Amino acid sequence: MAKQLIRTELIFKEDIDYAALLRHVMKMGKDKFIEEMIESGLRGRGGAGFPTGLKWKIVKDDPNPVKYIVCNADEGEPGTFKDKEILDKACEKVIWGMVLAAYITGAKEGFIYLRAEYKYLATKIRIAIDRMENNSRNLGIHFKLSLFFGAGAYICGEETALLESMAGHRGEPTNKPPYPVNVGYLEKPTVVNNVETFVNTMIIAEIGAEEYKKLGTHASHGSKLFSVSGDCSKEGIFELEMGMTVQQFVDEFGDGDTKAVQVGGASGFCVPRKEFKNTIIGFEGVPTGGSMKVFNSSRSMYNILENYLIFFEDESCGQCTPCRVGTQQLLHGIRAVKRKEKPKTYLDELLRLAYTMKYASKCGLGRSVGNAFRSIIENFREEIVY
Ligand SMILES: Cc1cc2nc3c(=O)[nH]c(=O)nc-3n(C[C@H](O)[C@H](O)[C@H](O)COP(=O)(O)O)c2cc1C
Ligand code: SF4
């Protein structure tokens, strides 16, 4: 069931004694805290929504003595700009979330994979790392944390491509399985979590699973940072409880003439006005890593779709045929229909191609191109073929 739109203020709350919080978890014990995380229902905030407690448990239970913790701060999804804000305003909380992960899993080393465009945050992060390393040593936790700079490729936000690039290889996704929790950085068990996910683990350490679960819905617990942009009455970053409908979101952020909301960035879904009331923002409806782009009736949905396809064609790593060729064909295809070189019915062939890409592509990039494609073609066909 949908929730009301409710603002929360947990993520940027910084007046916390992190060392005391760690001591509290240490007293509780690793297994009990993992149970607490699983009970909280926390799912990763980077987009895919894998249960965080389970991820940590798998790495914790792995007998390999060498393990790593990686914070994914690549933030490449178009329309998402919340991780840089977290690192700017609540850097210590992210870092202590990583210490918590290190303590639970037994990892001794970690990395923040920061997109190159966020280099201006590096000094601040390094100062916070130095402070953390001193304080955590006093707790008996020896965790070495470093910064690693991405080079601006969208695909390097995908966890296996990210780990490949960290190891000095081409930033290309590898087959899954094996998953990074078993075979990750330098082939060791590795926790890869989004910036906001680490913050949420500290929130759970602070308020407990019971309180945390009261926020959000059955499938989408907690609150979330939304990056709001486009034709809206207010834009920026807002922390909201999970589980509101798109209608509630539009009532708060729209400009009174909203015709569509792209939930989850270019790889997400385009929700048309007729679906606003029935669509929940969350894992039970349309999931989002945070990107919310609002479009009013002055916008051409053809231009929006063409823009997304140019992005995907550019960012496809080219490793597998369905994605490398599929992204090109979808882009050329809608242009050909627009120029009337292909009949309107060609769009149905392109829809079938998008469907094939979903099942035949090697990684999440190629698999998600069809989300925006299908939802825009199906709901705004008249804007593509007029
Ligand atoms: C093309 C692509 C780009 C991605 N970019 C990011 C990103 O910038 N940040 C992120 O946290 N996850 C990104 N992901 C998801 C990661 O692969 C991974 O699921 C995530 O970092 C796991 O963390 P979480 O469980 O805390 O969400 C991306 C996935 C794909 C397929
Ligand atoms: S789906 Fe696309 S981005 Fe992913 S491996 Fe294949 S070509 Fe590369």
Which ligand is located closest to the Cα atom of residue 175?
A: 2
66 touches 102 (CB < 8 A): no
In-domain check, residue 83 = yes
CATH number at residue 361: 1.20.1440.230
Task: Find where tokens 């297994």 sit.
Answer: 31
CB atoms within 10 A of CB 305: 23
In-domain check, residue 186 = yes
Same domain, yes or no: 192 and 307: no
157 touches 168 (CB < 8 A): no
Mutate which of 45, 149, 194 for ligand 1? The one with the most ligand atoms within 8 Å of its CB, which is 194
Same domain, yes or no: 35 and 176: yes
- Would you state the pLDDT for residue 80? 95
Burial group, residue 7, by CB count within 10 angstroms (0-12, 13-18, 19+): exposed
- Percent of the chain at pLDDT above 90? 92
Which ligand is located closest to the Cα atom of residue 363?
A: 2
- pTM comes to 0.97
Domain final residue pick, 164, 181, 213: 213
DSSP H or E run through 241: strand 236-241
Average pLDDT taken over every residue of the chain: 96
CATH number at residue 163: 3.40.50.11540
Same domain, yes or no: 148 and 31: yes
In-domain check, residue 177 = yes
Q: Rounded to an integer, what distance in angstroms lies between the CA atom of residue 240 and that of residue 7?
A: 5
Same domain, yes or no: 41 and 177: yes
First to last CA, the chain: 38
In-domain check, residue 253 = no
* pLDDT single digits (tens) 47-63: 889 999 999 999 999 99
Of all atoms in ligand 1, which is nearest to the CA of residue 367? 31
Domain final residue pick, 190, 213, 236: 213
Query: How confident is residue 386, by pLDDT bands cut at 50, 70 and 90?
Result: low
In-domain check, residue 343 = yes
- Would you state the pLDDT for residue 2? 67
Q: What mean pLDDT comes out for the span 340-361? A: 97
Burial group, residue 140, by CB count within 10 angstroms (0-12, 13-18, 19+): exposed
Q: Rounded to an integer, what distance in angstroms lies between the CA atom of residue 213 and that of residue 221?
A: 6
Q: Rounded to an integer, what distance in angstroms lies between the CA atom of residue 248 and that of residue 258?
A: 12
Query: How confident is residue 32, by pLDDT bands cut at 50, 70 and 90?
Result: very high
Whole-number Cα distances in Å, 70 to 77, 151, 159, 180, 185: 18, 16, 9, 10, 9
* pLDDT single digits (tens) 277-293: 999 999 989 988 899 99
Same domain, yes or no: 309 and 182: no
Is 149 touching ligand 1 by the criterion CB < 6 Å?
A: no
Is 361 touching ligand 2 by the criterion CB < 6 Å?
A: yes
Q: Domain limits at 151?
A: 18-213
Which ligand is located closest to the Cα atom of residue 158?
A: 1
Q: What mean pLDDT comes out for the span 151-163? A: 97
176 touches 381 (CB < 8 A): no
CB atoms within 10 A of CB 134: 10
Between residues 216 and 230, the one the model is more confident about: 230
Same domain, yes or no: 183 and 55: yes
CB atoms within 10 A of CB 385: 18
Ramachandran category for residue 115: left, alpha or beta (phi over 0 → left; psi -120 to 50 → alpha): beta
Same domain, yes or no: 33 and 175: yes
In-domain check, residue 230 = no
Is 363 touching ligand 1 by the criterion CB < 6 Å?
A: yes
Q: Rounded to an integer, what distance in angstroms lies between the CA atom of residue 220 and that of residue 103?
A: 26
* Structural domain total, the chain: 2
Q: Rounded to an integer, what distance in angstroms lies between the CA atom of residue 228 and that of residue 209?
A: 28
SS3 of residue 43 by DSSP: strand
Taking each helix axis as running N to C, give the angle between helix 18-28 and helix 122-138, from 0 to 180 degrees, rounded to the nearest 10: 50
Q: Which residues pair with 221 in a beta bridge?
A: 216
In-domain check, residue 288 = no
Same domain, yes or no: 63 and 207: yes
Ramachandran category for residue 262: left, alpha or beta (phi over 0 → left; psi -120 to 50 → alpha): beta
Q: Rounded to an integer, what distance in angstroms lies between the CA atom of residue 87 and that of residue 284?
A: 28
In-domain check, residue 329 = yes
Whole-number Cα distances in Å, 145 to 56, 114, 127, 238, 298: 18, 13, 12, 29, 47
Is 192 touching ligand 1 by the criterion CB < 6 Å?
A: yes
Domain final residue pick, 179, 197, 213: 213
Atom 4 in ligand 2: residue holding the nearest Cα: 363
Same domain, yes or no: 27 and 170: yes
* pLDDT single digits (tens) 61-114: 999 999 999 999 999 999 999 999 999 999 999 999 999 999 999 999 999 999
* pLDDT single digits (tens) 202-218: 999 999 999 999 999 88
Q: What are phi and psi of 140, to 5 degrees?
A: 90, 10
Radius of gyration of the chain (CA): 21
* pLDDT single digits (tens) 214-227: 999 888 999 999 99
Q: What angle do CA 45, 49, 55 make, to 5 degrees?
A: 95
Distance 324 CA to ligand 2 centre (A): 7
